[in-house]
Chain A
Amino acid sequence: MPLLLEIVTPEKRVYSDTIETVVLPTVEGELGILPGHLPLLTQLEPGELRVMKAGEPETLAVGGGFVEVAADKVSVLAESAIDIEEIDETAVEKAMERAQKALSAKAELDPSEVERLESLVRFSAAQLMIKKRRK
């Protein structure tokens, strides 16, 4: 029985396809899901999401969020998600640098801005880490 994977972010539905397995970064560590997995609801950490689809591996970088597994359907609710092929390393590095620079003057920022920047840095770091490992 195949597994259905759906990744949704506030902007759009990033991924929706039938797959064989998926490995998710969760708060409790990496978690592999195979067809027939027990229903599960857990929290997602920023990191690397690996998909095995038709014998081909695919990798996505995801931001924090939640995962629900039920009836062979994996629903990922993420702040952000991007296919590794689409990651532009230099752009990410620059964005991260800018965010960190802004964060160093933390006192002048309002809390929501700080949070936005921090999540940006986390997501950027995850993207870079994955990209580096692929080389």
Chain B
Amino acid sequence: MPSTRDIRRRIKSVKNTKQITKAMELVAASKMKKAQNTALAGNPYSLLLSEMLAALEEQVENLRHPFLEAREIKTRGILLITTDKGLCGGLNANLFKAVTSEVDRDAKFVCIGRKGTQFLGRTRRNLLADFSVSEKVDFNEVKVVSEFFTEQYLQREIDTLEIIYPKFVNTLRQEPTVYPLLPLANLRGIVEEMRRQQAENEDEVQAHLRRDEREMIFEPSPHEVLSNLLPLYINQQIYQFVLDAKASEHSARMVAMKTASDNATNLLEELTLEYNKARQAAITQEILEIAAATASNS
């Protein structure tokens, strides 16, 4: 049986740990709220942007742009979005599992987040570049990433652009998701999908469903509009994914820290019980000794 002093020491250390995890939980909770709100606020913009693209595709025949053409896939380009810091439960581990099972060894990677860079280095994957984004993600930080990526795509270094990121489902669930961004073969399907998701939040599907049958005018020209719209679309999509990943990160961290705090509370209870038992045993022992000594003296 451990001495009372050892138990006391353990209680103290568990208490300290609990204090830290509790603080981290609260910080993550407030950051989570903010991250979730920003992720949601960007949705109408994304939707409108992809709707414009879809309209463009619908109206103009034989639209030509390297982003729209599917080509033979030799090298896949993967953007892996992970966190910079650990202590967020299985979030990164799940992503890495997805990478291992879904992606072959020839694929080239671009990485956001230090954890991903470390993983790709450890497994000796082909890492082209790694970027880091600040806590409050700025549109322009992401722009660098998407510019680098589209450059690689246009030079045929990579033949697809796929994104692996933790999709934010709700606070308790984040799913590692592989999302193919380029080539944009099925624009219409993407818009439909986004609309459905949006409709769950807001009740304005009707407004979107109004269609105009007349022919559309493009100024200055369809091609000009397209070549400006497409990079913006890629940019916005990646930005949205990064925001989503941030929301996931903070949710995962909050949940992980909450579990840790709860475990610490349980552990503390058990240890306190053990400590009291040990203390009581020591007292009983002492009384017995005194009683025995008095008995032998008289």
Residue of chain A at shortest CB distance from B56: A41
Q: Which residues of B contact A70 (CB under 8 A)?
A: 55, 210-212, 216
Q: Which residues of A contact B212 (CB under 8 A)?
A: 39, 70-71
In the complex, besides A68-B51, A71-B211, A113-B140, 8 extra interface pairs with C-beta distance below 8 angstroms are A11-B42, A12-B41, A39-B59, A39-B212, A42-B218, A66-B229, A66-B232, A75-B48
Shortest CB distance A69–B (Å): 9
**Interface residues, chain B, with chain A CB atoms under 8 Å away:** 41-42, 44-45, 48-49, 51-52, 55-56, 59, 138-141, 143-144, 147, 207, 210-212, 214-220, 224-225, 228-229, 232, 236, 239
> Counting CB contacts under 8 A, is A4 at the interface?
yes
Mark A18-54 against chain B: 1 for CB-CB distance below 8 A, else 0.
0000000011100000000011111100000000000
Q: Which residues of A contact B215 (CB under 8 A)?
A: 38-39
CB of A41 within 8 A of CB of B45, answer: no
> Counting CB contacts under 8 A, is A55 at the interface?
no
CB of B45 within 8 A of CB of A10, answer: yes
CB of B225 within 8 A of CB of A73, answer: no
CB of B52 within 8 A of CB of A77, answer: yes
CB of A41 within 8 A of CB of B225, answer: yes
Mark A108-125 against chain B: 1 for CB-CB distance below 8 A, else 0.
001111011000000000
**Interface residues, chain A, with chain B CB atoms under 8 Å away:** 4, 6, 8-13, 26-28, 38-43, 66, 68, 70-71, 73, 75, 77, 110-113, 115-116
CB of B225 within 8 A of CB of A43, answer: yes
Shortest CB distance B84–A (Å): 19
Between-chain CB contacts (< 8 Å), 19 pairs: A8-B48, A10-B239, A12-B41, A26-B219, A38-B214, A38-B215, A38-B216, A38-B217, A40-B216, A41-B217, A41-B218, A41-B225, A42-B225, A43-B228, A66-B225, A66-B232, A70-B55, A73-B210, A112-B140
Partner of B42, one of A10, A66, A73, A111: A10
Separation of A94 and B217 alpha carbons in the complex (Å): 40
Shortest CB distance A96–B (Å): 18
Q: Which residues of B contact A40 (CB under 8 A)?
A: 216-219
Interface of chain B: mostly helix, strand, loop or mixed: helix
CB of A27 within 8 A of CB of B207, answer: no
Partner of A39, one of B140, B217, B220, B236: B217
Partner of A10, one of B141, B210, B236: B236
CB of A39 within 8 A of CB of B48, answer: no
CB of B52 within 8 A of CB of A75, answer: yes
Q: Which residues of A contact B140 (CB under 8 A)?
A: 112-113, 115-116
Shortest CB distance A4–B (Å): 7
Shortest CB distance B198–A (Å): 12
CB of B216 within 8 A of CB of A41, answer: yes
Q: Which residues of A contact B219 (CB under 8 A)?
A: 26-28, 40-43
Q: Which residues of B contact A113 (CB under 8 A)?
A: 140
Q: Which residues of B contact A71 (CB under 8 A)?
A: 210-212
Q: Which residues of B contact A73 (CB under 8 A)?
A: 207, 210
CB of A77 within 8 A of CB of B45, answer: yes
CB of A66 within 8 A of CB of B207, answer: no
Residue of chain A at shortest CB distance from B60: A41
Residue of chain A at shortest CB distance from B52: A68
Q: Which residues of B contact A111 (CB under 8 A)?
A: 144
Residue of chain B at shortest CB distance from A115: B140
Partner of B141, one of A6, A11, A112: A112
Shortest CB distance B218–A (Å): 5
Q: Which residues of B contact A66 (CB under 8 A)?
A: 49, 52, 225, 228-229, 232
Residue of chain B at shortest CB distance from A76: B48
Q: Which residues of A contact B217 (CB under 8 A)?
A: 38-42
Separation of A68 and B52 alpha carbons in the complex (Å): 7
